Chains A and B, each alone.
Chain A
Amino acid sequence: MSADETTITTPGVAGPLTEDHRRVLRDLSAVERRPGAPKPDAILTMDDVQRRFGGMTAVDVDHLEVQEGTITALIGPNGAGKTTLFNLVTGFDTPNSGRWSFQGKSLAGKGGAAVAKAGMVRTFQLTKALSRLTVLQNMLLASPGNPGENLFLSWLPFTWKKHEAEATEKAMEILARFKLDTKAADFAGSLSGGQRKLLEMARALMTDPTMIMLDEPMAGVNPALVQSLLGHIQALRDEGMTVLFVEHDMHAVRHISDWVVVMAEGRLVAEGPPESVMKDPAVVDAYLGAHHDTDLGDDALLDPAILARLEAEEENR
């Protein structure tokens, strides 16, 4: 199976395949390679989603299913409508028409907060780490169901101290995993761009999401940190979460995604496993002009020697 091969042979990124991941890849290998193909276990399903800005149709998606337990990449040239689609599905924008459901429940017309509560949590292209709160406060803010966030209980600390202590413990565990635990007491504004991306991802994890939506997680991140970000994203999937991410960085897409959805001019133009979809004529067409003379999956960064050098540079900063 070709998808298998890619993930296994990627140095530095892929760990050993989990049983679940094997099953998911097996399921995906049977899926048709065409836009809007039905999947055996779709966690997110969209139908006829349209968003127009004046006369311009930014998003016009007839049908899209996202398979549960996978890392699905949403790619496409600039202005393809990827982020708009993201905003629509996560309740940060209102479509002109369309419906979509998450885990069988319709989320159409729900606001951003309701979508997050349903278990679909997103991050933003321009990182939204709250810089005037400390790193730990950022994490605690995300903890769901905190009784102290109710105004009527907030002035009675004994009603929320227990939840707060448990949330702090959980937050520190997650921060340790993202190597941010030593920064817990610092204002998030003092973090570097890459660390803010990590914090945003860590914060999203605090909400115990079933699905995590990442809007350009690698944008503006130091190449050495990209590697660790990719590892974290794979770890999310291996823990059973579904990941949908928008990305421009093609080698990131190629080496961690299980399935790739390509958009151009608001429509889906192709779907498939990463290595085959990039050879799809529709995709080459979509990118022509922007990327036609570059290898969509540039391997240079995966050379261990180059990586080691970049990592050393990051250490010495």
Chain B
Amino acid sequence: MDEFLRIITQTLAELIAPTTAAYAIAAIGLNLHFGYTGLLNMGQAGFMLLGAYGFGIATIAGAPFGLALLVAVVAGILFALILGLPTLQLRGDYLAIVTISAAEIIRWVGRSTWLQEWTGGASGLQGRDFKESFHLLSPLPDGRTAIGPLEYINTGSDSWWTRIFAWGLVALILVFVWLITRSPWGRVLKGIREDEDAVRALGKNVYSYKMQALVLGGAIGAVGGVVYALPLAIAPDAMGRTMTFFAWTVLLLGGAATVFGPVLGSMIFFAAYMLMRTGMRSLTANTGLGDVITTTNVEQIGGMLVGVTLMLLVIFRPQGILGNKKELAFNVR
């Protein structure tokens, strides 16, 4: 029974974990790209990693928190511009190819010895080197606080302050995205998603709109990267293709082209992922299942199940949990 409660508590904790918020933010950015504009960005992890690097390196160089966050956003914007300038003129699929390779380039450059002085090479940047300015901002008193079964320190890496900040950012970005996507600007994006030429024929500069969406979604992705790094460290290998595919799963699970989809998707995804892994671990340790699956295999099986979920989602429920079936029901191409 204790074991059962522990699993439930861990699952609940994932709902408000900073990582869940980081993925929610990354998926909101991806939603602007894919959900609203139809841009296939397969390199959201690249934006996140670049944002984390921008924040970490700026902080270590002595920048205050706000400036470091700005550096992260600017890094995301520049990356989007560099990717978009040559590829947005081409057909959509090319962006997918370019973004996935560009994200890998960022990761490999980050982990190389070439820029080790700034990026820390393969081992990355240690959390203690860049977290202080963030912790100093905390208005919370020292000590620990327990809310229900969840107990964390007030200020620190895995703290209430990190959670408040992360989810506060989610709320802020969500309101902003909600405002812009229900505006005429969002309507142009939805038009582009369906048929660029039709929108062009009505006198709209399609290239410029696609660029705006790419830049904005990329900048949001970079902020997601900062939030991801705040409770952890900046490790290039933790922010690779797996991260991109997790962000896609989160988006498609919640529902592309919906405002709350990415947030709901992230919460459900990480809670279910945690439940699955802790549950399996407990089963392999305490029951006969352990003869078939060893505890060390649980992570791999978890990853495989995520892949299967992504496939099933795309095939059977492409609109996700919140998506409007009507909006996706008409075959346009």
List the interface of chain A (C-beta within 8 A of B): 90, 92, 111-114, 116-117, 121-124, 128-133, 137, 140-142, 144, 146, 148-151, 154-157, 160, 164, 187, 189-190, 203-204, 206-207
Nearest CB of chain B from residue A313's CB, rounded to whole Å: 26
B window 159-214: CB within 8 A of A? 176, 179-180, 183-188, 190-191, 193-195, 197-206, 212
- Size of the B side of the interface (Cβ < 8 Å), in residues, is 32
Give chain B residues whose Cβ lies under 8 Å from the Cβ of A142.
202-203
12 contacts across the A-B interface (CB closer than 8 A): A113-B200, A123-B201, A128-B201, A130-B194, A130-B195, A132-B330, A148-B184, A149-B185, A151-B185, A154-B185, A155-B180, A203-B202
Chain B residues within 8 Å of A92, by CB: 197, 200-201
With A and B bound together, what is the CA distance between A155 and B191 in angstroms?
18
Chain B, 36-66, contact with A by CB distance < 8 Å: what is the 0/1 string?
0000000000000000000000000000000
- Contact, CB under 8 Å: A132 / B332: yes
Closest Cβ–Cβ distance, residue A3 to chain B (whole Å):
31
Q: Note all chain B residues with C-beta closer than 8 A to A113.
A: 200, 203-206
Please judge, given known A-B contacts A142-B202, A155-B179, A157-B179, whether A128 and B190 are in contact too, CB under 8 Å. Answer: no
The residues of A that contact B187 with a CB separation of less than 8 Å are 133, 137, 140-141, 149
Q: Are B201 and A122 in contact (CB under 8 A)?
A: yes
Does A132 contact B190, Cβ atoms closer than 8 Å? yes
Contacts of A121 in B (CB 8 A): 201-203
Can you name the residue of chain A whose Cβ is closest to the Cβ of B175?
A155
A129 contacts which chain B residues (CB < 8 A)?
198
CA of A66 to CA of B200, assembled, Å: 23
Q: Which residue of A lies closest to B183 (CB)?
A: A154
Are B202 and A116 in contact (CB-based, < 8 A)?
yes
Q: Which of A148, A149, A206 contacts B204, CB < 8 Å? A: A149
Using a CB–CB cutoff of 8 Å, the interface residues on chain B facing chain A are 176, 179-180, 183-188, 190-191, 193-195, 197-206, 212, 216, 326-330, 332
Q: How far is the CB of B300 from chain A (nearest CB, A)?
A: 39
In the complex, the answer to whether A112 meets B200 with C-beta atoms within 8 Å is: yes
| A151 and B198 within 8 A (CB) | no
Which A residues touch B198, using CB under 8 A? 124, 128-130
Chain A nearest Cβ from B35, distance in angstroms: 12
When the two chains form their complex, are residues A189 and B330 in contact, meaning their CB atoms are under 8 A apart?
yes
Is the beta-carbon distance between B202 and A207 smaller than 8 angstroms?
yes
- Complex Cα distance, B192 from A141, in Å, reads 11
- Knowing A113-B203, A155-B183 are in contact, say whether A141-B188 is a contact too (CB < 8 A): yes
Q: Verify B203–A148 contact, CB threshold 8 A.
A: no
**Using Cβ atoms and an 8 Å threshold, which residues of chain A touch B216?**
151
Contact A130 B191 (CB under 8 A): yes
Q: Which of A131, A144, A207 contacts B330 (CB 8 A)?
A: A131
Most buried by A among B185, B195, B216: B185
CB distance from A208 to the nearest CB of B (A): 10
Query: A112 touching B201 by the CB < 8 A rule?
Result: yes
Alpha-carbon separation in the docked complex, A167 to B193 (Å): 22
**Given known A-B contacts A154-B179, A154-B183, A133 and B202 have beta carbons under 8 A apart:** no
- B190: which A residues are within 8 A, CB to CB? 130, 132-133, 137
Measured CA separation A90–B200 after assembly (Å): 10
Known: A131-B330, A154-B180. A116 touches B200 (CB 8 A): yes
| Partner pick for A112 among B191, B194, B197, B326, CB 8 A cutoff | B197
* Nearest CB in chain A: distance from B197 CB, A: 6
Distance between Cα atoms of A190 and B176 in the complex (Å): 31
